[in-house]
Structure 1
Amino acid sequence: MDVPDFNKRYAKVLQYNVPNNENHLGLPTVVCYKALERPENLTSENLMVVNVIGWCAEMLASCIVIIDDVMDRSPIRYHKPSWYSQKDVGLTAIYDALLIVSGIHDLLRKYVGGRKCCTYIMELLHEVATKAIIGQTMDMTMNTPDGTTRLDLFTMNRYMTTTKYKLCHFYCLPMSLAMYLANIYDPEQHRVAKKISLEVGQLFQLQNDFLDCFGNPKGTGKESSDIKEGKCTWLAVVALQKATPAQKKIMEEHYGKEAEEDVQMIKDLYLELGLPTTFATAEEELFLRVQTQIQQNYSGQSQEVFLNLLKQQYNFKHSRLGEIC
Structure 2
Amino acid sequence: MAPAALSPTAQASSHSPQDIKTKAQQQTSRQRFVDTWTIIRNELLDAFKAQGVPPEAVEWYKSSLDYNVPGGKLNRGLSVVDSVEIFKGRPLTDDEYLKAAILGWGVELAYFLVTDDLMDGSITRRGQPCWYRVPKVGNIAVNDGGMLKSCIFVLVKNHFKREPYYVDLLELYQDMAYITETGQLVDLITAPEDNVDLSKFSLNHYKTIVTFKTAFYSFYLPVALAMTMCRMPVRVEQTTPYQIALDILIPLGEYFQIQDDFLDFAGTPEQIGKIGTDIVDNKCSWCVNTTLAVASPAQRAVLNANYGRKDAACEARVKAVFEEVGLREKYEAYEREAYEQLSAMIDEVPEVESVDGGAVLRKEAFRAFLEKVYKRSK
TM-score above 0.5: yes
Write out per-residue CA displacement over residues 137-163 of structure 1, whole angstroms, 9 at most, x where no aligned residue: 10111146x932221121111111111
Counting only pairs closer than 5 Å after superposition, residues 239-278 of structure 1 correspond to structure 2 as: 239-278=291-330
What does residue 51 of structure 1 align with? 101
Higher mean C-alpha deviation, range 78-87 or range 235-244: 78-87
* Inter-partner Cα distance in structure 2 for 1:218 and 1:149: 29
What does residue 302 of structure 1 align with? 362
- Give TM-score, length-normalised by structure 1: 0.91
What does residue 216 of structure 2 align with? 169
Deviation at 1:217, TM superposition (A): 3.0
What does residue 199 of structure 1 align with? 251
Aligned letter for 1:269? V
Write out per-residue CA displacement over residues 88-134 of structure 1, whole angstroms, 9 at most, x where no aligned residue: 22222221111100111111110111111111111011111111111
Could you tell me whether the CA contact under 8 Å between 1:163 and 1:202 is conserved in 2? yes
Query: Residues 122 and 222 (structure 1 numbering): CA distance in 2 closer, same or farther, change over 3 Å?
Result: farther
Determine what percentage of the aligned residue pairs are the same residue.
Answer: 27
Aligned letter for 1:261? A
Instruction: Give 3-state SS (helix, strand or coil) of 1:228's partner.
Output: coil
Query: Residues 160 and 308 (structure 1 numbering): CA distance in 2 closer, same or farther, change over 3 Å?
Result: same
> Which of 36, 51, 54 does residue 87 from structure 2 map onto?
36
Deviation at 1:180, TM superposition (A): 0.6
Could you tell me whether the CA contact under 8 Å between 2:115 and 2:145 is conserved in 1? yes
Point out the structure with the larger helix share: 1
What does residue 137 of structure 1 align with? 185
Could you tell me whether the CA contact under 8 Å between 2:232 and 2:361 is conserved in 1? no
C-alpha RMSD of matched pairs (Å): 2.0
What does residue 5 of structure 2 align with? none
Counting only pairs closer than 5 Å after superposition, residues 1-325 of structure 1 correspond to structure 2 as: 1=49, 2=52, 3-37=54-88, 42-59=92-109, 62-143=110-191, 147-170=194-217, 171-187=219-235, 188-298=240-350, 302-315=362-375, 317-318=376-377, 320=378
Aligned letter for 1:11? K
Could you tell me whether the CA contact under 8 Å between 1:142 and 1:149 is conserved in 2? no
* Inter-partner Cα distance in structure 2 for 1:93 and 1:221: 26
Instruction: Give 3-state SS (helix, strand or coil) of 2:310's partner.
Output: coil
* Inter-partner Cα distance in structure 1 for 2:89 and 2:290: 46
Deviation at 1:216, TM superposition (A): 2.7
> Any gaps of 5 or more consecutive residues in structure 1?
321-325
Could you tell me whether the CA contact under 8 Å between 1:78 and 1:222 is conserved in 2? no
Deviation at 1:87, TM superposition (A): 1.8
Deviation at 1:305, TM superposition (A): 2.5
Deviation at 1:213, TM superposition (A): 2.0
Aligned letter for 2:205? R
Query: Residues 222 and 117 (structure 1 numbering): CA distance in 2 closer, same or farther, change over 3 Å?
Result: farther
Aligned letter for 1:159? Y
Higher mean C-alpha deviation, range 30-39 or range 237-246: 30-39
* Inter-partner Cα distance in structure 2 for 1:102 and 1:220: 32
Aligned letter for 1:121? L
- Give TM-score, length-normalised by structure 2: 0.79
Query: Residues 308 and 39 (structure 1 numbering): CA distance in 2 closer, same or farther, change over 3 Å?
Result: closer
Query: Residues 221 and 107 (structure 1 numbering): CA distance in 2 closer, same or farther, change over 3 Å?
Result: farther
Aligned residues between the structures: 314
Aligned letter for 1:293? M
What does residue 323 of structure 1 align with? none
